[in-house]
Amino acid sequence: MMSVVSRTKRLGVLGTMLLSCMAFNASSAWEDLPQEEYEAVLKGKFEQGNYSAKGADNCLMCHRRNETVMALFEGVHGRTENPASPMSSGQLQCEACHGPMGNHNRGGKEPMITFGKGSQLSASAQNSVCLSCHKGDDRLAWHGSTHDIEEVACSSCHNVHAAQDPSRDKHAADENCLSCHQQQRAQIHQRSSHPIRTGQLNCTDCHNPHGTLNTAMLSEHNINDNCYACHADKRGPFLWEHAPVAEDCSSCHNPHGSVNEAMLTQRTPLLCQSCHAGVHSGTPVSQSGQDAFGGGRSCLNCHNMVHGSNHPSGKLLQR
C-alpha cells in the first residue's frame, strides 16, 4: 500500500463550509445526533485539522476487510500515478473525501464525513467535498440547478468505491434517472416514444444532470435547438413556415413519449383545433371519423406539411 511522506494539513471545502455556518459542540454519541450537531462535530475536527500522518495506511489498518472500501483501488480515485487523484502522495488520500481523522481511530468514536442514503450530512455538504476537485466545465451550473436545490447528492448517481462508475454505462444511468423520475418512466413506455427503453437514446443526449443555464437542464439553449440536433430537417428554412413549429416543438410533441402517435400531446383534430378553433366553420368538423375532417389523418388529410412547406403554393401546408 502507498504511504504518505509529506502532506499539507489543510481545511477542505466542507471544513470551510461548516466553519462558516455551524457552532462547535463536541459530543461522543454521534450516531444519534441530529444533523446540525453532527455537522458541528465534524466542524470541530476540521478546526483542529488533525489529518492522519500515515494517510490511507492508517485507515486500512481497520477498514481493509471491507470489500466496498477496497474496491476504491480498482477505480480512478484509487490510482496513485495521477497526481490529481486523491490517493497519490501529496494528496489527503482517504481524508480528501472523508475529512480529517482526528480521534476517529479511537474506537471509531468520532464521526467521519459519510455519503449516500445513510449519511447524516445534507446533500450539499457531501457534494461540496466532490466539488472541491470537480468544478470543471460540465458542472459550472451545478449551484442553483434543480438537482442542487432538490438536495440530490453526487453519490445518488456516482459510486467512487467501485471499479467502474455507474454513469459510464449509459443505459444503467438512464435506469437510475428513472428510479426518481416515475413520470418519465411512464412516458417512455407509452405507445409512441423516443427509443430510450432500448438504449438507442439516453437522458443525457438532451439533459445535463449537473445543470445548465437553460430550461429543464437541457444541453442546448432551448427546446427547438435541442430537437434540431437530431431532426435537422425540421429546422427549415421553409418558404411557408408553420409558426408554432419554429417557436416550440413541445407545443405539439411530448419530448419523452405519449399515448398518441408521433408523441403528439393530443390527437388530431383536437391538437389543431386547440389553436385553430373557428376554422372551417362552414363545414362541421366531425370527431366521429366519418369525413375528411375527422376521419383518417383528419386535418392532416389535406394539411400534411405540418412542419412547413417549400412548395410555391404550399401556403396552406397542403403540399
Minimum distance from residue 162 beta carbon to ligand HEC (Å): 6
Roughly how many angstroms between the first and final C-alpha of the chain, as a whole number?
Answer: 72
Residues 7-66 that bind ligand HEC (CB under 6 A): 52, 56, 58-63, 66
The binder of ligand HEC chosen from 89, 103, 279, 287 (CB under 6 A): 279
Angle of helix 13-21 relative to helix 123-131, nearest 10 degrees? 140
Angle of helix 13-21 relative to helix 35-48, nearest 10 degrees? 120
Name the pairing type of β-strands 192-193 and 257-258: antiparallel
The binder of ligand HEC chosen from 4, 154, 238, 260 (CB under 6 A): 154
Minimum distance from residue 280 beta carbon to ligand HEC (Å): 6
Residue nearer to ligand HEC on the CB measure, 23 or 55: 55
Residue nearer to ligand HEC on the CB measure, 18 or 298: 298
Are 113 and 45 a contacting pair, CB within 8 Å?
no
Annotate 275-295 with three-state secondary structure. CCCCCCCCCCCCCCCCCCCCC
Rounded Cα gap, residues 101 and 62, in angstroms: 13
Minimum distance from residue 115 beta carbon to ligand HEC (Å): 3
The binder of ligand HEC chosen from 255, 260, 308, 309 (CB under 6 A): 255
Q: Residue 258 phi/psi, 5° resolution?
A: -160, 170
Minimum distance from residue 64 beta carbon to ligand HEC (Å): 8
The binder of ligand HEC chosen from 15, 30, 210, 309 (CB under 6 A): 210
Minimum distance from residue 25 beta carbon to ligand HEC (Å): 20
Residues 215-244 that bind ligand HEC (CB under 6 A): 215-218, 223-224, 226-227, 229-231, 234, 242-244
By CB under 6 A, residue 147 contacts ligand HEC:
yes
Number of neighbours of residue 299 by Cβ within 10 angstroms = 22
